[in-house]
Homo-oligomer: A and B are copies of this chain.
Amino acid sequence: MAEFSRKERDRQLRRSDIFAAAEHIFALKGYHKATIRDIAKEAQYATGTVYLHFKDKDELYLSLFTEKLKTMLSIVEEKMSLAKDAKGKLETFVRESLVFFEDNLDFFRIFVSEADEMMIAEKGLRNTPAGQKFERYMADIVKQAQREGVIRSDFEPTQVLDILIAIMKSYVLKWFREDGKGRKGLAGMSDMIIKCLLNGISGR
């Protein structure tokens, strides 16, 4: 059984290596210009090795995406569970997501580049188990926020989520643009994002 678990652990190691390489290459070149050869080389494996772990390029891409998303969500959810009310949960969601993005810029690049396309495409994130689980989870929190009077009841939870993510994206992209040394942590923007979502940007 130790034997077995070592094998399984090795397997996961390979997957991780490939994921890491794929994350980098996909972020660098985008889905279509990235080649399996590139990724294999980056991971220091032979081309064929990639195919021992992933049926094809699509599966690698989608796996990478959902795996990473799951990781992010499991981290974020854990922190969210500590918050006492829905508003706190949303704040936590924003803050911790930003932390994760900052730690995983390559992933964020992929997330941004493909997120909207995936929303429309049939094979997109939204039709993925992981994606749907996330959507349901977040929708529940939004509903709770609506019950608690934090969010107006005439908004569809799914769309609230879309808007929140859109605002977050816009903030991270701005942060991207001012690339360089002087920029502060992304997480510091979470309060402003929440305020922007809840109260808007009205001058009065």
Residues of A whose CB lies within 8 Å of any CB of B are 30-32, 109, 112-117, 119-120, 145-146, 148-153, 155-156, 158-160, 162-163, 166-167, 169-171, 173-174, 176, 195-204
Contact = CB atoms under 8 A, between A and B. Distances in A.
A176 B173 CA distance: 25
A151 B203 contact: yes
A201 B120 contact: no
Copies of this protein, total: 4
Contacts of A204: 149
Contacts of A167: 163, 166-167
Contacts of A153: 203
Given A117-B30, A156-B174, A200 B200 contact: yes
A80 to B, nearest CB: 19
A116 B112 contact: yes
